[in-house]
Amino acid sequence: MLESAALAFDAGWGAIKLYFMIGLPTETTEDLEAIVELVRKTAGLYMKTPKDRRARDLSINVSVASFVPKPFTPFQWEAQDDIGTLTEKQEFLKKALKMRYVKLNWNDARESFLEAALARGGAETGAVIYEAWKAGARLDGWGEHFRFDAWMAAYAKMGVDPAYRANRQIKLDEPLPWDIMDYGITNEFLLREREKAYGGILTANCRESCSSCGIDRSYGCALRGD
């Protein structure tokens, strides 16, 4: 990444966009500090670029998303950081990246919490969405329309705890609400991928070797080229 940034600066570009995710399993304070260090190193490359070749001004746009455990992924069992923890991490980055040439963008931690609660919800989720809609929740993807209170009121009315869905570590042998769906990939494969993720082990591209994901090959297989 740094090599690419150096080439861009040398070619006269002065704007760089960096994307990060916080709240991933096993994350430590050192990981957050590494985000800051990577931004500093990127800026340092601009400063080292000869003035006659680099852009007049430097602009580093840093976008930080919050981890949301999603169904059909190796991390579907993982707990999401609670709102307070995500907010603390965002505040750390806001202070550490308070630099003239850096613009920091982040997700509202409440939106990420709601996204996780909905993504891992069970049969009760439809009723919650309907109640939130009746309470005025509209166009929630836009911050100015986000009605967190309406969503929490809907969950309360339906007697559902959203934190149970979003912030709980699910047991690996526990039935999942989406197990009723056949999406082609087996949970056994996802568990193997989860274990590899914790070990920092990469999975080969499907065109190089088969990972035995369990998909019905009539859907097509990259290894076969179809």
Going across the sheet that includes 59-66, the strands are 15-22, 59-66, 102-106
pLDDT level of residue 224 (50, 70, 90 thresholds): low
Q: What is the pLDDT of residue 222?
A: 57
What are the boundaries of each domain within the chain?
Answer: 1-108, 182-226
Res 154 pLDDT > 90: yes
Res 225 pLDDT > 70: no
Name residue 22's beta-bridge partners: 66
CA distance readout (Å), 200 to 26, 97, 165? 11, 27, 27
pLDDT in tens, 107-132: 999 999 999 999 999 999 999 999 99
Q: What is the pLDDT of residue 74?
A: 96
CB-based contact 127:120 (threshold 8 Å): no
Q: By percentage, how much of the chain surpasses pLDDT 70?
A: 95
Q: What is the pLDDT of residue 5?
A: 95
Q: What is the pLDDT of residue 221?
A: 64
- Name the residue with tokens 């704007």: 15
Among candidate residues 102, 126, 82, the one with its CA nearest the CA of residue 36: 102
Greater confidence (203 vs 220) lies with: 203
Q: What is the pLDDT of residue 157?
A: 95
Among candidate residues 92, 90, 85, the one with its CA nearest the CA of residue 107: 90
